[in-house]
Amino acid sequence: MNAKKALILSADAFEDSELLYPLYRLREAGFHVDVAAPTAGSITGKHGYAVEANLGVDAVESAGSCGYSLLVLPGGKAPAALRGIPKVIDIVNDFASSGIPMAAICHGPQILVTARLLHGRRATCYKTVADELREAGALYEDSPVVVDRNLVTSRVPGDLPDFMREVMKLVG
């Protein structure tokens, strides 16, 4: 039986714990986790942790054909860089149209804003991003975790246990 697959999209200056906690929790649960960045290779978090991105975003194929069952969008400063890359927005929209669960924390929902996926959806994020979510038509909630169908969002590293508990419920 093949392992379940997850995709984490990130870039330099990610919030270290928001990438590492989901990465290790998913691996612990038997997932094969691909990390995609603007280019394949090492990316470095805000606090100095290096993570190997085994894929460049241009190498990411459609969510369905790759067998992914989850997309994770960590926060930090990485989402600001990623949201300007058309291929990243294509990837996120592909996951959304496939109905595959998506999880975004901290500044991660900014990518969902750029992809125009939050209108009418319940969501949360880091406090400085809240107005941007509201302007995009999201129903913002200041809660540790918000689940709206296949979308899980959280605010800060301290919310990671709640965030990953709900993510794991969605992906089994």
Copy the structure tokens of residue 56.
């460049």
Give residues with Cβ within 8 angstroms of 90, minimum separation 6. none
Give residues with Cβ within 8 angstroms of 123, minimum separation 6. 104, 109, 112, 133, 138, 139, 140, 141, 146, 148, 151, 153
Tell how strand 5-9 and strand 32-37 pair up. Answer: parallel
Q: Looking at the DSSP assignment, which residues form a beta bridge with residue 148?
A: 151
Q: Which residue in the list 32, 47, 107, 119 is annotated as catalytic? A: 107
Is 32 noted as a catalytic residue in this protein? no
Phi, psi of 154, rounded to the nearest 5 degrees: -145, 175
Catalytic residue list: 107
